[in-house]
Amino acid sequence: MPSCRDPEAQLDRLDRSTEPLYSVKESPAALKTLQQALANAQQTQNQAKQIDILTGLGCLYCSLEDYAVAMKYLKQALQIAQGLKKTRKVILVFYYLGEVYLKSEHYQQALICYEKALIILEYSLDYTKFNNSRFNEKPADDVELKYFVFKKYFNKRANLAMILERMGLVELCLERPLNARSACDRALKTYQKLGDRLGEARILDYLGAAHYKLGNPSRSIWYHLQALGIFRNLNSADNSSEMAHINQVYQYLGLHCEGLKLYRRVLMILKNIERTKRQQAV
């Protein structure tokens, strides 16, 4: 997971992992550094910097599983960001508030935060906003400006997929597989447009879990099979990434044993397919 030492810099790609933002070993030093930086920013009345540092502190305490303190810092960051109308930072803080609520198993509150981040981001994704006077004043062949506009739109699309992915997971935790499937379908299409194979694999596992909850195990296996194929292509013959992810998904649902059984079944199917292809090649 990307570090929150510089939250503004990582906005171009929101966090995708559930790994801690800081290791337990480096947490004391990171805490001391962030608290000193916060004191300096408050002394100089640098509110923009305070948002970044408060967000970092919130993420640090989240990694330490001190969720009450994490929420306190993130809410302070949100208040300042909203006051300064820093849209990018508001989106980021709402996202991380959602992460804290998700990890502390307050799923409804997590969903609210993700939805707020999504609404703000979707508004900023409006194509018409790029068709402004500043853009039109430039020559039609101004490649540099057009590349900047495309890159900005592309990065926001990646963030959109991330938020939809987390919303899908929360809906699964809330026992609403239909809503989860809807959010994940949107995330899947976005990841596919971006060419993000890892994101696509994760979403396929969430869709598999959604269909499992809907009582459609055969469809569930199909999605997990697709995910496993991508994970294996990305990690050579190593299946550990897929096994870790599918276990994580079903652990969120309190179905660890079922997830393990599905993984083994999917792995067996894939091995049989590969064996058949080798025999046909011979």
81-112 burial code (b ≥16 CB/10 A, e <16) = beeeebebbbbbbbbbbbbbbbebebbebbbb
| Separation between Cα atoms, residue 203 and residue 227, nearest integer Å | 8
Nearest one of 96, 14, 13 to 56, comparing CA atoms: 96
pTM of the model: 0.74
> Does some domain include residue 240?
no
Find the domain containing 34 and state its range: 1-128
Confidence check: pLDDT of 237 > 90: no
> Does some domain include residue 259?
no
CB atoms within 10 A of CB 165: 24
Question: Would you place residue 222 in the very low, low, confident or very high pLDDT band (cuts 50, 70, 90)?
Answer: confident
> Does some domain include residue 19?
yes
> Does some domain include residue 87?
yes
Residue identified by tokens 């510089």 is 6
CATH at residue 94: 1.25.40.10
23-44 burial code (b ≥16 CB/10 A, e <16) = eeeebeebbeebeebbeebeee
> Does some domain include residue 168?
no
In what helix (H) or strand (E) does residue 110 lie, and over which residues does it extend?
Answer: helix 107-124
pLDDT tens sequence across 95-140? 999 999 999 999 999 999 999 999 988 887 654 444 443 333 443 3
Is 15:162 a contact under the CB 8 Å cutoff?
yes
Q: Which residues contact 66 (CB under 8 A, 6 or more apart)?
A: none
How many structural domains does the chain have? 1
